[in-house]
Structure 1
């Protein structure tokens, strides 16, 4: 029986281009599960945020300490002339006594805060949230000169002083572990709940003070200790002419935030120390106090410095960044398989391409799920080894060569290793990723620069099919060296 004549080259070319179209469609199809992976990361991150919110319901939340602010109420009584009409319609001038109730807000001319923070972890399911208990030592002094200035500007009017108070604002009042005691000008006074400020959420505490002598300038010292609990972040609103905050904590991964960075900081594996210094020129303190006097005191909490207790590795952020490279891994793997089809005269079925694509995507699913239970490096290593081992065995089977399977598996393992390095280099991730893509493309172009693609895709009958028959050698361009 005569062997069938080889098909026309045009038919072979049509089949090859049809297969390329199918593979291109397959790559586009695999972008759907890639998008699913990205959505899964967002969903798991939202569940973690729900865990944070759940813990926050039973533990004080992010804290901001503002103050203390000295509030001196006073009454100003004076006579004012008015023109009124009597019953006959004639205008006459009358004198009416008016009493205004006002508040004088004073900030310390010196404020010193020393904080020693102890952190711990609270768990809700598989998620953990850093919480803390901060021991605060707050001291300073008020200058009473503004009282004399007020007297000087209200001459001719009756000025009556009411009981002054000292107010301290705290974002979440549940964090005050025990009622502190205030040392005011040598006397011990008790704080009461609520900051007693107009226009605020009343979170904090206040103390009723003895009367202040307004006839002479003096420095009134104060001091109190406060144990404040919270979670994730701590901030200090520096409402003083001159402020200094010294902070030490046992959390090794701080992220400093606010309107001013610390002047000095030391971060180690056992914790960190930081020092902030600021003056009233650093913030618009007078503007915030004026808003508070008008009943909007919430702005006092906004002008703050502080830090956040961040997790050393955000597994969801790194997983999301790694998934964005999935398309590159799929395209590169498929290109290599196509080259082996042409060079070794093999036939890889589109179903096999599909299985390879899904095996590449399963790596990211393993990475997301494992990183929720173990550290990211261990999760990445296990997921990469599992995916690479599976694909190495499968490549060896479909390419009928254990050597080729090991070659492709080793190359894939190297790409996973490079990807991990890119994920760790957050600031240089874009640069390193661009260099990686350029390098892979350059190597692929240089390795195939002498191939005669027309000859490879022409009518050379395959010599190795599913039964393992031989194929002719690959065709190289005539001008190859």
Structure 2
């Protein structure tokens, strides 16, 4: 019996048992780490909710579809009055987007913009030959100009189109679709001969946020967009033909011909939803503080594992016993780093928060190691190693294109160092 007790005691004092306990503790610490990650996700969602609510009062995403001609006609087949839509023969769009200011609510900030948009172009004579509609069935005198857009409550200019010096006003039309975010604006009725072959010009001023997009309805569409925002993201069905971005802003141009699009210049029947064929610019923040915190927390398991590995190697080399409770305190401190990081970040920058939280945790663990090891050499080694780990992690977080490469090379170097320092350890004891 005494021999069994001695063997059990010897086993629990062996390096194998200590490694198993430290490994199990590392897995257990994933539980509070997951809670911290959930906290980061919750705070990020809360930020998006507040920003959405705040920007909705200023103006949301700007979307423009038009202008276009709407001509009613009588269909002999259905015996009903139908509608045909004709897009411009030429359309030029020029947009000047300026970041107006930063809206702040509580600790959250939202970037909003003001957009001045000019539409210029020319309508061709509407052609009904595809349907063989008799001329007497076409209600030319009831022609209207139609324009679809979002955020009509954020338009801070007159909505009028100038056709050869004649200004034609628009009125909103109630939508039959519930929760429809796209509003339809229609002009008064007039003969189509007043527009066919003549140039038009339309100027709109918006308050908006997040993004701006246009449907290239012109048979030949040319568009330019200039902004003082430094981080554009081009998306949608068409990418710009040219773009030039700098820290002071960007400029982009699009050129779209009718054969580049999967829709015709004439649309007979209800006006189709062509929003999926729009070209779009998102005015994004490349990596916000919550994304950086989320990326940092994903490396939490690595930080805990490497820190425990340093302590375990020092324990083995120095022959000083470190209790599993002391490992637990160190692990909890490492998890607390991410809670400190997210809480400080919300009131400052990520870099400053990382420096404060990292310094606090490294200092606390170094002092705790000094009380355990009772010398200066090993605690300073631990503090230096932990500082290098956090610095390495910070570099990876800041990198985007080279994060995987730098991370792989760094881990290779760490593994090589561990193999070097542990090469003479007798693991049989």
TM-score normalised to structure 2 length? 0.90
Contact 1:193 1:204 in 2 (8 A): yes
Alignment of 1:243 with 2:252, yes or no, is: no
Match of 2:311 among 337, 340, 363: 337
Tell me the equivalent position of 1:4.
none
In structure 2, C-alpha distance between the alignment counterparts of 1:230 and 1:401, rounded to whole Å: 61
Q: CA RMSD in A?
A: 2.7
Q: Does 1:101 align with 2:101?
A: no
Aligned to 1:421: 395
Tell me the CA shift for residue 73 of structure 1: 1.2
Matched, 1:111 2:91: yes
Identify which of 335, 338, 361 aligns with 1:361: 335
Q: Name which of 359, 365, 385 aligns with 2:359.
A: 385
Q: Distance in 1 between matches of 2:365 and 2:94?
A: 58
Shift of 1:357: 0.7
Q: 1:159 Cα deviation (Å)?
A: 4.3
Matches within 5 A, 1:27-106: 27-75=26-74, 99-106=79-86
Q: In structure 1, list runs of 5 or more residues that go unmatched.
A: 1-6, 81-97, 458-481
Write out aligned runs for 1:14-413 (5 A).
14-16=12-14, 17-75=16-74, 99-119=79-99, 120-144=101-125, 146=127, 149=129, 153-155=132-134, 158-194=137-173, 203-213=183-193, 219-286=197-264, 290=267, 293-295=268-270, 297=272, 299-413=273-387
Contact 2:317 2:425 in 1 (8 A): no
Bigger shift: 393-402 or 13-22? 13-22
Is the alpha carbon distance of 1:223 and 1:52 closer, same or farther for their aligned partners in structure 2, counting shifts above 3 Å? same
Structure 1 Cα separation of the partners of residues 311 and 139 of structure 2: 91
State the alpha-carbon separation in 1 of the partners of residues 23 and 168 from structure 2: 78
Q: When the two structures are aligned, how many residues end up with a matched partner?
A: 422
Cα contact 1:168–1:195 (8 A) shared by 2: no
Give the superposition deviation at 1:188: 1.6
Asked if structure 1 preserves the Cα contact closer than 8 Å seen for 2:334 and 2:361, the reply is yes
Query: Aligned to 2:238, what secondary structure does the other structure show?
Result: coil
Find the residue that maps to 2:348 and give its secondary structure: coil
TM alignment of 1:451-470, pairs within 5 A: 451-454=425-428, 457=429
Match among 398, 408, 420 for residue 446 of structure 1: 420
SS for the counterpart of 2:395 is helix
Superposed displacement of residue 60, structure 1: 1.9
1:282 Cα shift?
A: 2.3
TM-score of the superposed pair, with normalisation by structure 1: 0.81
After superposition, the C-alpha distances for 1:149-180 in whole angstroms (9 at most, x for unaligned) are 369x3359754434111111112221211322
Q: 2:141 touches 2:190 (CA, 8 Å); kept in 1? A: no
- Conserved in 2, the CA contact under 8 Å of 1:252 and 1:271? yes
CA change 1:158–1:319 in 2 (3 A) is closer
Are residues 99 and 434 of structure 1, via their aligned partners in 2, closer, same or farther at CA, if it must alter by over 3 Å?
Answer: same
Distance 1:99 1:15 in 2: 95
Cα shift at 1:197: 9.8
SS in 1 for 2:115: strand
Task: Verify the 8 A CA contact 1:359 1:387 in the aligned structure 2.
Answer: yes
Give the whole-Å Cα distance in 1 for the aligned partners of 2:240 and 2:181.
29
1:27–1:331 CA contact under 8 A, matched in 2: yes
* 8 Å Cα contact 2:362-2:387 kept in structure 1: yes
CA shift at 1:99, angstroms?
Answer: 4.6
* Displacement of 1:301: 2.3
